[in-house]
Amino acid sequence: MPELPEVETTRRGIAPHVEGRTIVGVNVRQPQLRWRVPETVQGAVGCLVTAVRRRAKYLLIDTNAGSIVLHLGMSGSLTVQSQNKVVEKHDHLDIVLDDGNCLRLNDPRRFGACLWQGADEPTLKLFEGLGPEPLTDAFDAKRLYELSRGRTVAVKNYIMTNAIVVGVGNIYANEALFMSGIDPRKAAGIVSRQRYELLAQNIKTVLAKAIEQGGTTLRDFLGADGKPGYFRIQLKVYGKVGESCPQCGTAIRSLNIGQRNSFFCPKCQR
Ligand SMILES: [Zn+2]
């Protein structure tokens, strides 16, 4: 599933090809995505793209009339390619640009989305209640600490809650907790302020590193296969059940926490 770093990498990959261009068409071949693609998305036609932004895992193609809101769901990818390129299976929609290229959404599982946020319309429900972006100053240890008091939810689930902070997906939650020496099962409400300092910093570090490494695949956005290259960050515990902990050699354990696969070192994480 595309996580925040992949979405940010996609944003950086497409922005130079889309910003400053005029949208000359929105061709929807399959409107039945996670939500039906609304007719109002045609409001973008004739508009200049002023910016490509990311909020949580949504990409916003900004125009003066409003923004096209895109989500990659479980299996989606966005690529810039020639409008003349043969349409492949699962290429559900094109945002056609005035230079003959288009932004093409491919999504085999169709959990992705394409919505319209009109400039004068109330903010879409899906943006309500979102916490701060993890890589901004609005997200810090103070926030993690204060909002967690009295909460019995596992700290891993807590940091994966969008209202607390957006975009901390399963892989990055596992890695950041390992780097911080915190047992993922521990109740969020009893983690100390000092340990949240470490955790907030490590969440930022692991996400920033993943984005940085994603940057090396940007050339693939215009590649022949039209697929963004999913990058591999060097993971310490995620997916490594039974392997030796890189710090102490103890076998990495795995269990389900909140229905998500969790990996940790029983010795280093307390
Ligand atoms: Zn260990």
CA distances (Å), origin 210, targets 5, 13, 18: 6, 15, 24
Residue 142 CB contacts under 8 Å (≥ 6 apart), including other chains: none
What is the C-alpha to C-alpha distance for residues 156 and 3, in angstroms, rounded to an integer?
A: 16
pLDDT value at residue 2: 84
Q: Is 186 a catalytic residue?
A: no
Same fold, 4-127 and 141-264: no
* CA 235 to ligand 1 centroid distance, Å: 14
* CA 140 to ligand 1 centroid distance, Å: 26
CATH number for the domain running over 4-127: 3.20.190.10
Tens digit of each residue's pLDDT (9 = 90 or more) over 145-195: 999 999 999 999 999 999 999 999 999 999 999 999 999 999 999 999 999
Q: Is 2 a catalytic residue?
A: yes
Q: Among all chains, which residue has been given the structure tokens 């946020």?
A: 117
pLDDT value at residue 230: 45
Catalytic annotation, pick one of 5, 11, 54, 57: 57
* CA 266 to ligand 1 centroid distance, Å: 7
Low-confidence spans in the chain with pLDDT less than 50: 217-231
pLDDT value at residue 1: 77
CATH class of 141-264: mainly alpha
H or E element that contains 203: helix 193-214
Tens digit of each residue's pLDDT (9 = 90 or more) over 58-73: 999 999 999 999 999 9
**Strands in the chain per DSSP E:** 23-28, 49-55, 58-63, 66-71, 77-82, 91-97, 101-106, 113-118, 253-257, 260-264
pLDDT value at residue 221: 46
Q: Is 3 a catalytic residue?
A: yes
Q: Is 6 a catalytic residue?
A: no
Q: How many CB atoms lie within 10 A of CB 226?
A: 18
What is the pTM assigned to this prediction?
0.90
Domain map of the chain by residue range?
Answer: 4-127, 141-264
